[in-house]
């Protein structure tokens, strides 16, 4: 059928089969099929309609990549609501200014944005994307189908300190990209069926049009599956590619550069390029260890949003990977030209796609014309914008076209800086901030010398002014992508300017910088101390401050390690991190990348989830283990009504009295919930199993086998309290939840002496919050009298097991969340637990351990 609007594409989209979107937040993954996304989009469109949103209203999207973003985007496309996407790292003041400019009716928030705790993004009404409901089948009542010239979205490309400028994108613009790509895919789709679904790892931001195309429009044509992950840790990316059998990675050049450094550290042999002209099959075999690390199915990198360094392209091509790049702008929705995957030419950005015309102006500028080109900017007509000439879009880039029609981009005509992350920086935005700092007489901002464009400042200062201090002050006011990475002091009394008009001669400044200008790199603020201060609760920090003084739980240490890795853009040695005791130790560690072979020498008990183990466990628990427990501990069970509505995995958080706690709770659970529970246990208790060389023979003989029995009979898994491996455990917990296993945790971390309840550790808050799992409080009473922690003698008697209302928690104050869970457990002993069912009040997500 003809393709004129996204509604036509959505009609086929809803009929596609299989999984479409996977979201991995570093702790747990969620998978949604094409049908689920289509149903969620229609239901969300109906919800927006009921809330009063109409065709032409603007809705801001301020979020990291996630499936709810895609569902909400399609909802807006169907309803006619204009999408205004913003990078999740955008500062709040920019969001508010954009919202004011487009008269936004609301804003959709992700989890990784600096929104206010009350859920508001300034004065704009806000809704959390995490609250989007899956599994509903409500449809909107549409007044009409979208038309080709209806506005689909407005994308703002300017910096955070100037008046934002929004590019208007219509359905016609997007379909001018979609249709020719789909026609090309259809030529080869029958040959690709044995390899479907083609899996994409999309590391491009959805606020960028190229990221949208590769996550939203292209995969349904194949069909394909798209994976979103949190962060850009190269080791995590490689592991995700291997585990999820990714074929294509879509990313910006900066991430590809970080991955190259990771590969060079892990596989030193890759520093030696292959012989010139060597066949790709021989290159693949030569570097087969790299391909094994990527999982053998990965074969292609699709690079966009910023210029690609030819040396970076040559490195990955030399390893046997295909690197596909194209050329485009936000104004072209976004593709102008694209390398064909089976006929790519190194150094070229490919041929213009069907329906798009490209020509080179007499001064070398690339000009573009076609239905993909925007009609102008929000609140500004095409003539005022000054970028259109006789129907052609002036791109501001210098290029040339060879005899085969391949486009080569040679440089930038306009002054905008495009960072390696694909974000635009306008020099004037940064200069406005610099020029108001005391002691600055003039400033010029240019791209740094070299292949990767970074923001460099050239200053004319008053005597005695420290340029590094100026940069630090400016960076506090600038958005992340605008921050100044290098600074130089101009040798003369004023910057070079043209005669008469006094226009800054940036080219002269760049040439001076490239040919020996005195450049210094501003020192970064001590990020380790800044990150650790989150856990200090106002206490002063010094190099000798110990982690023990801060009282960090094992899972808080995981959170700390993740934050340090995000700052370092690379993995840390988890073993050495576990041995770190002071702030000074962490500062030393943060500057040293992890070795490839420093993984902890122990494995999670995945065998306990195998079919034979599950069968053995179910038969034995039902046949004799649980009946024996019921005989020894005569349980009065209350609160089962609270469990009646449970669907999917939860966290059972119980006070800890005895070794009998686990089988007693399993015996009390309804049958439908009992058989998919995994039990957390302290890894250090089973040290002789994991590290037999350091244990006495009698310890190996006693506690060693106990681990295997606990894993076999109770699906138990270890949580290290002090040593390395807590992060791996948290990842395993996420896998359990994704596999529909509930968790049983004892947040006190130790058994009681006389029935008292000790403070709950914050880890339970982290697990539930990060994994978005409801928490069921469980109160045990009298179990310590049946089997005390100091005795192996069982004294049969009565016990009580009380289940409370599920708590749905949210936030990153894990101590406070753990306190709420602890209070709920305590209250179960203070009132009749048999009343009511239902759901306790709270905001999404909580956790424990």
What are the pLDDT digits (tens) for 31-40? 999 999 999 9
Both tokens of residue 609? 């989830």
Helix-strand-coil split of the chain, %, nearest 5: 40, 20, 40
Same domain flag for 224 and 122: no
User: Does the pLDDT value for residue 330 go beyond 60?
Assistant: yes
pLDDT above 60 for 122: no
Whether 554 shows a pLDDT value over 60: the answer reads: no
- β-pair partners for 802: 638, 779
Q: What is the mean pLDDT of residues 338-343?
A: 82
- Distance CA(791)–CA(302), nearest Å, equals 62
Question: Quick one: tokens of 167?
Answer: 């590019």
Residues 662 and 799 in one domain: yes
113 or 538, which is more confident?
A: 113
Of the ranges 442-451, 693-702, 742-751, which is most confident? Answer: 742-751
- 292 in the same domain as 264: yes
Question: How do 322-328 and 300-303 pair as beta strands?
Answer: parallel
Phi, psi (5° rounding) for residue 164? -65, 145
Residue 630 domain flag: yes
pLDDT of residue 523: 42
CA proximity to 589, closest of 652, 646, 635, 531 = 531
Lowest-confidence segment of 401-415, 452-466, 739-753 by average pLDDT:
401-415
Q: Are strands 248-251 and 198-202 parallel, antiparallel or unpaired?
A: parallel
Tell which residue, 22, 26, 68, has the closest CA to residue 771: 26
Q: What angle do CA 795, 800, 803 make, to 5 degrees?
A: 145
**What is the pLDDT confidence band of residue 93, given thresholds at 50, 70 and 90?**
confident
Q: Are 325 and 318 in contact (CB under 8 A)?
A: no
The predicted structure's pLDDT at residue 160: 43
For residues 158 and 180, which has the higher predicted lDDT (pLDDT)? 180
Mean pLDDT of 151-175: 83
- Cis amide prior to 334 (ω within 30 degrees): yes
Domain boundary among 520, 554, 576: 520
Domain tally, the chain: 5
Crossing angle for the helix pair 554-568 and 763-771, to the nearest 10 degrees: 50
Q: What is the DSSP code (8-state) at residue 337?
A: E
**HSE-up of residue 720 (Cα within 13 Å, Cβ side):** 22
Q: Does 838 score more than 50 pLDDT?
A: no
**Residues 228 and 150 reside in one and the same domain:** no
Judge if 565 and 586 occupy the same domain.
Answer: yes
φ/ψ bin of 686: left (φ > 0), alpha (ψ from -120 to 50), beta (otherwise): alpha
Are 257 and 312 in contact by the 8 Å Cβ rule? The answer is yes
Best mean pLDDT range from 183-192, 447-456, 744-753, 815-824: 815-824
687/721 Cα distance (integer angstroms)? 12
Of residues 708 and 538, which shows the higher confidence score? 708
Q: Are residues 740 and 818 in the same domain?
A: yes
Q: What gap in Å lies between CA 457 and CA 128, rounded to an integer?
A: 38
- Of 51-60, 139-148, 719-728, the one with minimum mean pLDDT is 719-728
Domain-embedded: residue 25: no
Predicted local distance difference test score (pLDDT) of residue 652: 97
For the segment 474-496, the average pLDDT, to the nearest whole number, is 88
C-beta separation of 623 from 705 below 8 A: no
Q: Which residue has the tokens 């935005």?
A: 429
Decide if pLDDT at 233 tops 60.
yes
Q: Which two tokens stand for residue 352?
A: 């213009």
Burial class (CB in 10 A: 0-12, 13-18, 19+), 496: middle
Query: pLDDT: is 520 or 181 the higher one?
Result: 181
Q: Is the preceding omega at residue 197 within 30 degrees of 0, hence cis?
A: yes
| pLDDT for the residue numbered 80 | 94
User: Per the domain annotation, does 600 fall within a domain?
Assistant: no
Query: Where residue 445 sits, what CATH number does that domain have?
Result: 3.30.300.30
Residue 498 CB-density burial (10 A; 0-12 exposed, 13-18 middle, 19+ buried): exposed
Helix (H/G/I), strand (E/B), else coil: 227: strand
Residue 570 has pLDDT above 80, yes or no: no
Mean pLDDT of all residues in 495-521? 69
User: Do β-strands 198-202 and 224-229 pair in parallel, antiparallel, or remain unpaired?
Assistant: parallel
Q: How far is Cα 303 from Cα 422, in angstroms, rounded to an integer?
A: 10
Range with lowest mean pLDDT among 85-89, 320-324, 660-664: 85-89
* For residues 120-127, average pLDDT: 71
Tell me, what's the pLDDT at 844? 26
Interhelix angle 661-668/697-714, rounded to 10 degrees, is: 10
Please give the helix or strand (H or E) that residue 82 lies within, else none: strand 82-86
CB proximity list for 220: less than 8 A, separation 6 or greater: 9, 12, 13, 16, 20, 34
Q: Which residues contact 134 (CB under 8 A, 6 or more apart)?
A: 32, 36, 40
What percent of the chain is modeled with pLDDT above 90? Answer: 42
For residue 553, the enclosing domain spans 527-590
Percent of the chain with pLDDT over 70: 83
Q: What is the pLDDT of residue 492?
A: 82
Which residue, of 170, 193, 223, is where some domain finishes?
170
Mean pLDDT along residues 221-244: 89
Same domain, 190 and 303: yes
Q: Which two tokens stand for residue 316?
A: 């990955």
Tell me the average pLDDT across 176-203: 85
Q: What does pLDDT average to over the chain?
A: 83
Task: Answer yes or no: are the C-beta atoms of 814 and 849 closer than 8 Å.
Answer: no
Gap between the Cα atoms of 132 and 164, Å rounded: 29
499-to-67, 441, 492, 507 alpha-carbon distances in Å: 55, 19, 17, 15
Which CATH number fits the domain that encloses residue 403?
A: 3.40.50.12780
Q: At what angle do helices 814-828 and 763-771 cross, to 10 degrees?
A: 100
Q: Which of 39-48, 107-116, 125-134, 349-358 has the lowest mean pLDDT?
A: 107-116
Judge whether residue 711 has pLDDT over 70: yes
Q: Of the residues 463, 493, 520, which one is the last residue of a structural domain?
A: 520
Crossing angle (nearest 10°) for helices 310-318 and 253-266? 50
Q: Are residues 660 and 774 in the same domain?
A: yes
Please report which confidence band the pLDDT of residue 142 belongs to, taking 50, 70 and 90 as the band edges.
confident
Strands (E), 453-610: 455-461, 486-489, 519-520
pLDDT tens column, 32-63: 999 999 999 999 999 898 888 999 999 999 99
CATH number of 774's domain = 3.40.1130.10
Give domain status of residue 789, yes or no: yes
- Per-residue model confidence (pLDDT) at position 847: 34
Assess whether 212 and 272 both reside in one domain: yes
Tokens 């993740």 correspond to what residue? 562
Residue range 834-843: mean pLDDT, rounded: 38
Position 382 confidence tier, pLDDT thresholds 50, 70, 90: low
- pLDDT at residue 116, as a whole number: 54
The pLDDT confidence band at residue 500, using thresholds 50, 70 and 90, is very low
Look at residue 524 and give its three-state secondary structure. Answer: coil
677 in any annotated domain = yes
Length of the chain as a residue count? 849
Q: Residue 560: inside a domain, yes or no?
A: yes
Rounded to whole angstroms, what are the CA distances from 51 to 57, 127, 139? 12, 12, 14
Sheet holding 166-170, edge to edge: 126-128, 106-109, 58-62, 82-86, 151-156, 166-170
- Report yes or no on 549 lying in a domain: yes
Domain co-membership, 485 together with 505: yes
* Alpha-carbon gap, residue 435 to 185, rounded angstroms: 51
Q: Among 420-434, 489-503, 542-556, name the one with the lowest average pLDDT.
A: 542-556
Residue 706, pLDDT > 90, answer: no
- Verify that 50 and 73 share a domain, yes or no: yes
Q: Tell me: do 120 and 148 sit in the same domain.
A: yes
> What is the tens place of the pLDDT at every residue in 522-548?
444 446 666 777 666 556 777 777 766
**pLDDT tens digits, one per residue of 601-640:** 456 667 888 899 999 999 999 999 999 999 999 999 999 9
Q: Output the 3-class SS for 689-757.
A: HHCHHHCCHHHHHHHHHHHHHHHHHHCEEEECCCCCCHHHHHHHHHHHHHCCCEEEECCCCCCCCCCCC
H/E stretch holding 156 reads: strand 151-156
Residue 672 and residue 567: Cα distance in Å, rounded? 44
More confident residue, 12 or 844: 12
> Which of these, 265, 233, 262, lies nearest to 565 by C-alpha position?
233
| Cβ count near 360 (within 10 Å) | 14
Quick check: is 20 in a domain? no
Distances (CA, A) of 146 to 138, 166, 375: 19, 21, 17
Query: What global pTM score does this model have?
Result: 0.77
């Amino acid at each position: 059928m003809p393709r004129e609007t996204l509604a036509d594409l959505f009609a086929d989209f809803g009929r596609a089969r299989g999984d479409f979107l996977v979201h991995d937040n570093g702790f747990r993954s969620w998978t949604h099929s094409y049908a689920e996304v289509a149903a969620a989009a229609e239901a969300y469109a109906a919800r927006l309609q009921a809330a009063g949103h109409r065709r032409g209203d603007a809705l801001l999207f301020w979020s990291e990549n996630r499936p709810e973003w895609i569902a909400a985007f399609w909802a807006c496309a169907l309803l006619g609501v204009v999408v205004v996407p913003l990078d999740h790292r955008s500062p709040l003041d920019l969001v508010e200014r954009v919202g004011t400019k487009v008269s936004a009716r609301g804003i959709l928030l992700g989890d990784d944005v600096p929104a206010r705790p009350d859920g508001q993004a300034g004065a704009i009404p806000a809704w959390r994307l995490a609250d989007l409901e899956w599994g509903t089948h409500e449809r909107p009542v549409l007044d009409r189908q979208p038309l080709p010239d209806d506005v689909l979205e407005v994308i703002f490309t300017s910096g955070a300190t100037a008046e934002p400028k929004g590019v208007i994108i219509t359905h016609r613009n997007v379909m001018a990209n979609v249709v020719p790509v789909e026609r090309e895919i259809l030529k080869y789709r029958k040959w690709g069926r044995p390899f479907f679904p083609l899996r994409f790892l999309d590391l491009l931001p959805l606020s960028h049009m190229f990221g949208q195309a590769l996550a939203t429009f292209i995969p349904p044509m194949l069909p394909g599956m798209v994976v979103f992950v949190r962060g850009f840790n190269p080791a995590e990316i490689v592991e995700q590619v291997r585990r999820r059998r990714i074929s294509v990675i879509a990313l910006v050049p900066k991430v590809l550069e970080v991955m190259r450094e990771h590969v060079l550290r892990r596989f030193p042999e890759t520093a030696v390029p292959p012989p010139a002209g060597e066949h790709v099959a021989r290159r693949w075999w030569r570097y087969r260890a790299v391909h094994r690390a990527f999982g053998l199915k990965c074969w292609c990198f699709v690079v966009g949003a910023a210029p690609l360094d030819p040396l970076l392209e040559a490195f990955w091509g030399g390893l046997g990977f295909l690197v596909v790049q194209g050329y485009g702008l936000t104004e072209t929705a976004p593709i102008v030209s694209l390398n064909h995957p089976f006929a790519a030419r190194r150094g070229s950005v490919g041929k213009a796609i069907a329906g798009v015309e490209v020509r080179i102006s007499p001064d070398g500028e690339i000009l573009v014309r076609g239905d993909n080109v925007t009609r102008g900017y929000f609140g500004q007509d095409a003539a005022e914008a000054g970028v259109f000439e006789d129907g052609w879009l002036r791109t501001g880039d210098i290029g040339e076209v060879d005899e085969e029609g391949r486009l080569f981009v040679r440089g930038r005509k306009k002054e905008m800086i495009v960072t390696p992350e694909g974000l635009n920086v306008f020099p004037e935005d940064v200069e406005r901030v610099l020029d108001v700092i005391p002691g600055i007489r003039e400033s010029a901002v240019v791209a740094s010398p070299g292949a990767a464009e970074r923001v460099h400042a050239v200053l004319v200062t008053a005597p005695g002014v420290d340029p590094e201090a100026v940069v630090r002050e400016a960076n506090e006011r600038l958005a992340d992508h605008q921050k100044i990475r290098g600074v130089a002091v101009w040798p003369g009394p004023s910057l070079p300017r043209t005669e008469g008009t006094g226009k800054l001669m940036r080219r002269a400044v760049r040439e001076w910088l490239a040919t020996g200008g005195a450049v210094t790199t501003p020192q970064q603020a001590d990020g380790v101390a800044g990150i650790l201060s989150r856990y200090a609760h106002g206490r002063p920090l010094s190099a000798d401050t110990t982690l023990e003084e801060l009282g960090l739980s094992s899972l808080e240490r995981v959170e700390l390690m993740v934050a340090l890795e995000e700052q370092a853009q690379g993995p840390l040695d988890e073993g050495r991190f576990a041995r770190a005791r002071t702030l000074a130790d962490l500062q030393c560690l943060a500057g040293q990348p992890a070795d490839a072979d420093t993984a902890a020498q122990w494995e999670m008990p995945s065998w306990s989830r195998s079919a034979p183990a599950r069968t053995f466990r179910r038969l034995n628990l039902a046949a004799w283990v649980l009946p024996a427990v019921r005989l020894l501990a005569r349980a009065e069970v209350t609160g089962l009504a609270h469990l009646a509505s449970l669907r999917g995995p939860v966290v059972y958080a119980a006070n800890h009295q005895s070794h009998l706690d686990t089988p007693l709770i399993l015996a009390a659970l309804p049958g439908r919930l009992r058989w998919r529970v995994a039990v957390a246990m302290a890894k250090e208790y089973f040290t002789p199993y994991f590290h037999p060389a350091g244990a006495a023979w009698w310890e190996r003989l006693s506690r060693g086998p106990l681990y295997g029995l606990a894993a076999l009979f109770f699906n138990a898994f270890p949580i290290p309290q002090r040593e390395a491996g807590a992060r791996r455990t948290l990842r395993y917990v996420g896998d359990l939840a994704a596999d529909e296993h509930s968790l049983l945790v004892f947040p006190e971390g130790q058994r009681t002496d006389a029935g008292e309840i000790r403070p709950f550790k914050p880890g339970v808050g982290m697990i539930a919050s990060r994994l978005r799992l409801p928490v069921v409080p469980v109160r045990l009473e009298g179990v310590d009298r049946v089997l005390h922690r100091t005795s192996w003698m069982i004294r049969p008697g009565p016990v009580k097991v009380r289940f409370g209302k599920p708590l749905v928690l949210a936030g990153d104050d894990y101590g406070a969340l753990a306190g709420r869970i602890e209070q709920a457990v305590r209250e179960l002993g203070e009132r009749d637990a048999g009343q009511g069912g239902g759901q306790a009040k709270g905001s999404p997500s909580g956790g424990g351990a």
